[in-house]
Amino acid sequence: MTLRVKLIRELVIVLTCLFFVSEATSIEEIEEAKIVQMAENLYRITFPYSLRTNIVMSVGPDGVLLVDTGFKETAEALNSLIHKLAKGDAEYIINTHLHGDHVSGNWICGKNATIVDFDNLEECMSYGFVFPGNGDLEGKLAESFGKYYSLNFNGEKIQIIPYPGIHSDTDLLVYFSKSEVVHMGDLLLTQSFPAVGSRVKEYMNFLDKVVNTFPSATKFIAGHGRDYTMANLKDYRQMLQTTIDIVHKEMKAGKDLGQIQKADVLKEWESWGEFLTFLNCDTWIECIVTSYLEVS
């Protein structure tokens, strides 16, 4: 891995993508937040601040559960919003990973909440409110996510699926099985090339698992960006594969990284780098080259 790719990956950890308007229906604007109803008791909350982190809130008879809390700068507004919609504090917070743009609101919104993240899943299980999954989480084509955990809340089995090592070392997917909604954290950036550094091959395998595991009606919430349907996710994967194939062809022709970048071979996909300039086509080309050097 080149030093530049290492630096890019560290930048990507902190800075991810902006957003498009969701395909779902906006139901209310409170405290400058866009609130989108994803299912009967499930909402996506996005504040128009910085990277516009997507937060999920489950509201029901058991209280409030959050997936991620965003920036500290929006924490007070999020807490106020929780009290307006649910008349009480959050009971649980599940963090998709431990980067600041996803967890910095914990200090306000989590004062009276139990916080669940990759690092404390076993501890949470020992306390008896998180349970081990029944076997591996298997897909239609025998792909498996392996070990997962469950948390029952608001009449719904919430599956917590660890998948570290691609975007960060603490990544989780959070699947609301009754609602058929999965928050993928920064393992999905719907308006950007993926934030995976030199782990492009691993990421493509991960997307295959997602497509083959979740039901066709599943709605996918990104760490940053608009929501995806299964069809959207498949199109996204195909777009990535197309760009990988183009770059790989150039590699097989004997061109080095600089030559491929100078040739502007991904010009057609420039829009995927418009919101975060460090995740532009040249950066994606470098990630692909670094990931696929041994098969060039």
Tell me whether residue 283 is in a domain.
no
Tell me whether residue 296 is in a domain.
no
Checking DSSP bridges between strand 156-162 and strand 63-67, what pairing results, if any?
unpaired
Please tell me the distance from the alpha carbon of residue 78 to that of residue 55, in angstroms, as a whole number: 9
Tell me whether residue 121 is in a domain.
yes
Q: Above 70 in pLDDT, residue 64?
A: yes
| Concatenated DSSP letters of 130-159 | SEE-SS--B-TTS-B----EEEEETTEEEE
In this structure, are residues 183 and 149 in contact, taking their beta carbons and an 8 Å threshold?
no
What pTM does this model have? 0.87
Residue 9 CB neighbours (<10 A): 18
Tell me whether residue 91 is in a domain.
yes
Tell me whether residue 256 is in a domain.
no
Q: Above 90 in pLDDT, residue 172?
A: yes
Q: What is the CATH number of the domain that holds 72?
A: 3.60.15.10
Residue 15 CB neighbours (<10 A): 17
Q: What is the CA radius of gyration of the chain?
A: 19
User: Residue 234 is part of which domain span?
Assistant: 17-240
Query: Predicted confidence band at 282 (pLDDT cuts at 50, 70, 90)?
Result: very high
Calculate ∠ Cα 51-236-238, nearest 5°. 150
At 129-151, the pLDDT tens digits run: 999 987 667 666 656 788 899 99
User: For the chain, what is the domain count?
Assistant: 1
At 174-189, the pLDDT tens digits run: 999 999 999 999 999 9
Please tell me the distance from the alpha carbon of residue 71 to that of residue 230, in angstroms, as a whole number: 28
Q: Above 80 in pLDDT, residue 11?
A: no
- Among 1-10, 63-72, 235-244, 273-282, which stretch is predicted with the lowest mean pLDDT? 1-10
